[in-house]
Structure 1
Amino acid sequence: MSGPQCCENPPTLDPSAGVGSVVELGGLNSYVTGSSDSNLAILLASDVFGFEAPNLRKIADKVAANGYYVVVPDFFYGDPYVSGSSTDDWLQEHGTEKGFEDAKSVIAALKSKGISSIGAAGYCWGAKPVVQLAQSKDYIEAAVLLHPSFLTGDDFKEVKVPIAILGAELDQLTPPEIIKEFEEILSSQSEVDYFVKIFPGVGHGWTIRYNDEDEKAVQSAEEAYQDMLNWFIKNIKN
């Protein structure tokens, strides 16, 4: 279920990255950024490298600048994937089902603070818990999946909230033909708004694990960020 692309271009983790802070929320340490007075929140579910990835925190800060309270939980409890180690062993210890349960706890904590509308975005590993959240109207109002992993068509048959899927042309884990399969399932459910886009010339992980000196890679990541933000602006409202 995993492959080399899942772990390529590992970030240099930095617990001090970002302008936000780390607090306990719903039983998990979480990077939070933006106004705590906002009643609109966005949850970002990381890839296997976890919540200390600088690019992920940079995205969180940018989303927060648009008026959202943004939360990036540490779903791995201080044990993100370490480049070069066994992905299968790590995934056995860090299943997406646990991520889904933890995400529900974080969302409950947000709602207890008066948050009225919540969106969630999942990167790679994080896409599976976000899809599971999207299968009910009890948790979130909109979802975005970016280079998702560990998903099948069945995951989309029960989706109940607006969902966007951003895929990569060169993704070996979830290639365009699989993304198109997901789109066909969503298109058969007329009551669910959806958006699907395949980004040309990029591979798995392009939205957060890119070379800052590669202008084209940076532009593709920025375009994905803007698509995600636009989806939340459209669907996460007071």
Structure 2
Amino acid sequence: MSYSRACCTIPPVDSNYTPKGKFENIGDLPVYTVGPSDAKKAIIVIYDIFGLHKNTQQFCDVLAEHRGYKVLLPDFFRGDAWNQSLGNTEAIVAWLGKVGTFDVIAPQLEQVRESLQAQGVTTAGLVGFCWGAKIAVLATAVDSFFGAASLVHPSLVDIKDAENAKAPILALPSKDEPDMTAYMEVLYKKSFGSQCKHQRFDDMAHGFCGGRADWSDELNKKRATEVIQLTVNFFDETLKA
């Protein structure tokens, strides 16, 4: 199935949304899956520390419905996402050190990749929210199957990750993230630098597209829709089957 840019204007996100996908297991990893089974291109979405949420699932559904991607949202935390106060940074870091390091997540991503390749998928993009953005950019450095990554209000931003990235990056920070200008300058100098994009949302707080987002708020709704549109456009330009 082919999709023209003319039909690719993304509708506004819905605060009262029912996800359209289904859950499958890849090995022992639960995965929310949506989109055509015969797709040649896929998107793997890596959520924030709050785990599965209908906002993130809606993001997946839009990518599948409007661009024909097979979209997968692995439940890396297996139903045991962070559910305590955000004020205890030390506790969050300690928890992520057990369940959310790249060494822990990478073998699971490899498992997902192998499953996709067995189904005929030839390339995949990554979307990462908050902590997931860190995982996404790190993954581009070690696996050429991942052809691009969209980083949505990324946390744990480190310029070394930009230095090691091996695929185009779309950076979409909120007002709460550090200035990513230097990070992007590193990316712009790479062979794929012209495909890298950066848009800052200075009127949005961290998490405006993820588990803490309030899409009943009109401005939040508008900005989240813009992020999805930018991500769609980015993958249109970067993912080649």
Pairwise mapping of residues 5-154 of structure 1 onto structure 2 (< 5 A)? 18-25=19-26, 27-50=28-51, 52-65=52-65, 66-84=67-85, 86-97=91-102, 98-136=104-142, 138-154=144-160
Shift of 1:17: 5.1
Report the counterpart of residue 231 of structure 2 in structure 1: 228
Give the drift of 1:211.
1.7
Code of the residue aligned with 2:32 in structure 1: it is Y
* Cα distance in 2 for residues equivalent to 1:137 and 1:25: 19
Query: In structure 2, how many angstroms separate the alpha carbons of the residues matched to 1:190 and 1:236?
Result: 15
Provide the C-alpha distance between the structure 2 equivalents of 1:230 and 1:87, rounded to a whole number of angstroms.
Answer: 33
Cα RMSD (Å): 1.8
Instruction: State whether residues 152 and 171 of structure 2, in contact with CA within 8 Å, keep that contact through their aligned partners in structure 1.
Output: yes
Count of residue pairs the alignment pairs up: 217
1:26 Cα deviation after fit: 5.0
Name the SS for the 1:55 alignment partner: helix
Structure 1 letter corresponding to 2:92? T
Give the counterpart of 1:163 among 159, 169, 173. 169
Give TM-score scaled by structure 2 length: 0.84
TM-score (norm 1): 0.85
Change (3 A) 1:39 1:191: closer
Maintained 8 Å contact 2:122/2:145:
no
Structure 2 gap ranges (5+): 1-16
Q: Which amino acid aligns with 1:227?
A: L
- Residue 83 of structure 1 deviates from its aligned partner by 2.9
Q: Match for residue 194 of structure 1?
A: 196
Question: Percent identity between the aligned chains?
Answer: 31
- Give the letter for the 2:221 counterpart: V
